[in-house]
Amino acid sequence: MPGSTEGLDAKAMLPRATSARVAYVPGTGFYADDSGQANMRLSFCYPPPERIREGVRRLGDVITQEITLRDTFGAAPARLVHGPQAPGPELP
């Protein structure tokens, strides 16, 4: 059984979720300080209950796969997950 969801990044996981035909808004869009990486906002006001259940099942599969990848290879460094950092020193 996979480990905890601690350290998962909803923004980095979004392409895999959309490939599974599930969409959400990463939590960082709801925090002024760019925190909320592990959070996501789901909308479930329109689809019928059976479609919501299927979407949650698919999202659960994506999260399980993400946990397995993280547990196997470790978490990606923040600079790779969250975009470029400030430029480093030039090399000779």
The residue type at 7: G
Residue 26 CA to residue 50 CA, distance in Å, equals: 24
Q: How far is the CA of 23 from the CAs of 8, 52, 56, in angstroms?
A: 16, 12, 10
Query: Are the C-beta atoms of 4 and 72 separated by less than 8 Å?
Result: no
Q: Tell me the whole-structure pTM to 2 decimals.
A: 0.72
Print pLDDT tens along the chain (92 aa): 456 778 889 999 999 999 999 999 999 989 999 799 999 999 888 889 999 999 999 999 999 999 999 899 887 655 444 444 445 445 44
